[in-house]
Amino acid sequence: MRGRFDNLRRIAALDPVADHLAIHRLTLTEEFPWDMRMAFNLAFNRSFALPRVARLLCETRRILQEPRRRADDTGIIMYEILLHGPESVRGKQAVRRLNDAHRRFSLDNGDSIYVIAALVVVPMRWLQRYGWRRPHEHERQAAAVFYRRVGELMGVRELPADYCAFAHYLDAYERANLHHTPEAAQIERTTRDLLRGRVPGPLRGMADSLIGALYDERLRAAYDVRRPPLLARAFVHLSLRVRALVLRFARPRTTPLFADGIVTKTYPDGYDLAKVGSGGPSPASGD
């Protein structure tokens, strides 16, 4: 357990505004690599349930035809921005890829704020519940500063000012806008295969119930997903809590996530960032 809380002490000593990139990078690559990637998946998953977003994704059809490629493209672009910073050469190139993918679409600004808010809030709430430690306030605020900047570079207007404001926006927007549509249900059925791939092999037979247990009631209603049995919900919660407890007393990670580059199933031999994401939109744009 020696050194388990060294990064936390580093994070606490940093400024959540001036040092937001270093803090958020530590949170992702060293402190909670699996949790953050899972939570990012769930954050995008929530945005797909928005009626206008679901309708656009069904119309463009890329997510229906190539869900793995679209997910990998989105992940690569977002991780490139985080690893290098939005003002770096590669970060600027990744932001250009985001903007190029959205340029021909007119998306609702409120929906775009919601997508950014989900990327800020959903991972922090996941860590609060299932992380091996609770997120530090600096980690919450650093996430808000980072994604607010990304949103600004994408042209999203009237972004919330800090983490609490993002959380309030997320909850209020969901109450007003998150409801069932046939398009959302179609998107969920397609993207569910990506989440199935994150379920350990011995549990694949009950993957659908376990995935449904990760959804809250509002999201299940929007996707028209049946509430899983109590046993499945209890199993998911208990397993994740036990995992958190084990990790709390484990040795800290010695090699950061993506230390050898970003490798995905779509691009096992590497990728040309200038060509990533050329097939269609992700839902976060204020154009």
Q: Where are the domains of the chain?
A: 8-275
Matching residue, tokens 């809380």:
5
Closest among 122, 173, 116, 168 to 145, alpha carbons compared: 116
281 — phi, psi (to 5°)? -90, 150
Long-range contacts of 218-225 (CB under 8 A, 24+ apart): 218/174, 218/178, 219/45, 219/46, 219/49, 219/178, 221/179, 221/180, 222/49, 222/178, 222/179, 222/180, 222/181, 222/184, 223/49, 223/180, 223/184, 223/185, 223/188, 224/180, 224/184, 224/185, 225/188
Helices in 154-200 by DSSP H: which ranges? 163-177, 182-196
Q: What is the pLDDT of residues 243-255, one digit of tens each?
A: 999 999 999 999 9
- Return the pLDDT at 61: 83
The span from the first CA to the last CA of the chain, in angstroms, equals 48
Q: How many CB atoms lie within 10 A of CB 74?
A: 21
Tokens read off for 28: 């992702």
Q: Give the Å distances, CA to CA, from 261 to 76, 94, 97, 186, 267.
A: 10, 15, 18, 33, 11
**Cα–Cα dist 287/106, whole Å:** 6
**Cα–Cα dist 75/79, whole Å:** 6
- Return the pLDDT at 35: 96
Q: How many CB atoms lie within 10 A of CB 253?
A: 14
Query: Which residue ranges of the chain lie beneath pLDDT 70?
Result: 1, 279-287
Strands (E) across the chain are located at none
Coil/strand/helix, residue 185: helix
Sign of CA dihedral 74, 76, 79, 85: negative
Buried b (16+ CB within 10 A) or exposed e, 136-160: bebbbbbbbbbbbbbbebbebeebb
Task: Name the DSSP letter for residue 30.
Answer: I
**Please, how many CA atoms are within 13 Å of residue 32, restricted to the half-sphere of its CB?**
27
Report helix angle 230-248 to 109-130, nearest 10: 70
Q: What is the pLDDT of residues 90-118, one digit of tens each?
A: 999 999 999 988 877 778 999 999 999 99
Yes or no: say if 214 and 86 are a contact pair by the CB < 8 Å rule: no
Closest among 113, 106, 121, 108 to 173, alpha carbons compared: 113
